[in-house]
Every structure is written in structure tokens, then in C-alpha cells.
Amino acid sequence: MIEQPQHPTLPIHGVMPRFSSVLSLFDGMSCGQIALNRVGIKYDNYFASEIKKFAIETTQLHYPNTIQLGDVTKIKASDLPQIDLLIGGSPCQDFSQGNKERKGLNGLKSKLFFEYLRLLKELKPKYWLLENVMMYDKDYMIISDYLGTEPVRINSNLITAQHRDRYYWTNIGPEYFDLFGNRKCVIPQPRNKFITLQSVLTGGYTDLVKARCLVTDSGSSISNPDSVYKRYTTTGMVNVIFDSPDFDYKKGIRFLNKTEMERLQTVPYGYTNHLTEKQAMNLMGDGWTIDVIAHIFGALLNGT
């Protein structure tokens, strides 16, 4: 049994749809499946496309009925039943500001968006959702044009203690058409819960109100505090927790632990207990903030 948070992001009331089959591309550790369960959406089959060993093991540990399909490029729509919901977050590395080259849709990893698009066109699901990071306007407009809608932009810092600013393209929920006929997703923003990073720590101190966005390569132990602290104060691509309330890194610093990362991503408590700190960081850095996805799925109330 997966323990759910005691305080969900939104009070969900009413009738949720029941899906025959869900397909999750780039499924990771099945954050989409957690979100579906969190809002009470029932489904008969959950198909997942994922290639990372520890991600697949984590999903099967908690959701053993998940049907793993492997490499997204090898999935054929003709081999699948009717898909009611297609979800996914195509690889973001070539869009990310942390990547100096930023090749966008021409990059080896981020061009996998076109595999999502291929299956979207072939499967024609009733509902669909695609997530990705902030990117150059050119890539944003290309993706929006292909999907026929502009996304809703939601920062996880509204509902957790982590900055995680993301685009969510979807046909779920309310919409708006401008004077030129362009569709825009207008799912409302989640209610601000004003959660601070200090409040989710299991120990130690932070000089940040909110954590920086979790990434996949922060490691689990610190062998060179000077180098890590320099990265912390310059690149902004790492989170460190201080042993001392005066934030003196020479008195000791550490990275976020698994419990703290789970809280930042609103992952069920203990979901990554079987993983090392580094393995958990890799999966959660790739993953979704569950309560943001649950908020979007909440717009499916009564089939809207």
C-alpha cells in the first residue's frame, strides 16, 4: 500500500472518469500513475514506456500490474488497445538552461518529442498531457503548433518548497481561443500553500526560501565541500543543507536526502526507500511534481 500525503493539494469532489487504458511515455518511476491514484481516477490497464532500470524496478515494486513496453521508438500503435489517456514528459536536456548547447528539438534526446507526437496522432486518445521545461520561443511555438494548443505554465513552488517551472500542454480542462483562433489551456493555478524549504528538512539549515529545481546529478555525498559550495553560489544548479545555523559551509554541508526530495516532489512517503540517495536523486530529478499533475487531472472532474 502506497501512503498518500495527509494534505492533498486540492479537495477533489465529484465523479472522475474511468479509463480502460492509459499510456505513459517516458514514464520514469510512474509519477503519472501516482497522480491518477491520488485524485481517484480508475483505469484498467496502465502501459508504460521506460528504459531506465531503476525507474522500471521502482514502478513494478509499487504498481506490479504496470505493463512495461520499453523503448518509445519501438512502440507500435497497432499493438495497443484504444488509449483513453496519453501522458508523458519528453526528455528536456536539449531545452534546459543548464545545457550550454541547447539544441532544442534538434537535440538527440529532446527530439523524442516527435515520438510522443507520432503516437498521439496514431492513437487519437480522448485526453492527453505533455510536460516540459522552459525553452527557447522557437521550440515553444513549434511544439504548441504541432499540438494545437499553448500550454498552461505552473511552477511547483506554489504547492511545495521547490522551484520547478514547467509547461503543460494538454486538452484537459478549460480552454480559451484568441482572436486568431489559437487555443490556449487555461487551467487555473493551484492554491499557494506557502511551504518553505526549511519546513521540509529532516535536519540542518537552509538560506533559501525554496529549493532550486531538483536535477539528476547532484550525487549523494560531498567529497569536496569547497567545490560544491562554489557551485551552489554560482551556477544555482545544486541544493546544499548547512549543519550550522550561520550557514558556514566549512562547518559542514550535505545534499538533500531521499525523504526531503520526496517531500519536494510530493512523492508518497518512502516511495524510494529501496534506492540509494544517488539513484533516488536521478529518478526524482527526472520526475514530475505529483500534486501539480494531480491538480491538472482534477480538471477531469465530471468529464470536463
Between CA 188 and CA 166 the distance in angstroms is 14
What phi, psi does 242 have (nearest 5°)? -90, 145
Q: Considering only CA atoms, which of 1, 64, 54 is closest in space to residue 28?
A: 54
The C-alpha cell of 84 is what? 483513453
pLDDT for position 223? 87
Mean of the per-residue pLDDT values for the chain? Answer: 90
* pLDDT of residue 192 exceeding 80: yes
| Domains contained in the chain, CATH given | 18-193+288-303 (3.40.50.150), 197-283 (no CATH)
User: Would you place residue 303 in the very low, low, confident or very high pLDDT band (cuts 50, 70, 90)?
Assistant: low
pLDDT confidence bin for 14, thresholds 50/70/90: low
Residue 73 has what pLDDT? 95
Average pLDDT over residues 218-229: 84
pLDDT of residue 7: 38
The C-alpha atoms of residue 158 and residue 296 are separated, in whole angstroms, by 14
pLDDT of residue 111: 80
How do residues 242-301 score in pLDDT, each as one tens digit? 999 999 999 999 999 999 999 999 999 999 999 999 999 999 999 999 999 999 999 998
Given its phi and psi angles, is residue 247 left (phi above 0), alpha (psi -120 to 50 degrees) or beta? left
